[in-house]
Amino acid sequence: MEKKHVIITALFGLVLLSNPLFAQKLLTDKPAAERAKMQTQRMAGILKLDSAQIRKVESINLVYAQRLDPIMLGNANRMSKLKAVRALQSEKEAELKQVLSQEQFNQFKQQQQERKDEIRKNRKS
């Protein structure tokens, strides 16, 4: 029984570790509207957004997903793209801060930092 438990845990861990690799590729293949909708759904669940907030957040996510596409598909070097994405993200955060409560915004920033840490960790592996 114990051996079975270890095997199941190991398989579950492998699935969790491999998922970000596939998700990143799949997200770039999806249209901006679909990416914005997925992001809004994730935020709504994590941040417990009300219906008015969901509408506003979805609108913000859509605008910035559409603005992100030309940057990512452009011919600029990696550093230029990174600077442009960071500037875009700062603008987006300023808009989200107007929609979310202070607690929700803090939770959003914490979630964002956790994702960054996970990406860095996976990159080193």
pLDDT tens digit string along 92-106? 999 999 999 999 999
Task: Supply the pLDDT for residue 24.
Answer: 45
What's the CA gap between 118 and 44, in Å, rounded? 21
Residues in the chain predicted with pLDDT less than 50, given as ranges, are 20-24, 26
What tens digit of pLDDT does each residue of 62-80 get? 999 999 999 988 999 999 9
| Beta carbons within 8 Å of 47's beta carbon, 6+ residues apart | 100, 104, 107, 108
What's the CA gap between 33 and 46, in Å, rounded? 20
CA-wise closest residue to 95 among 61, 66, 71: 61
Task: Supply the pLDDT for residue 124.
Answer: 79
Q: What backbone torsions phi and psi does residue 49 show, to the nearest 5 degrees?
A: -75, 145
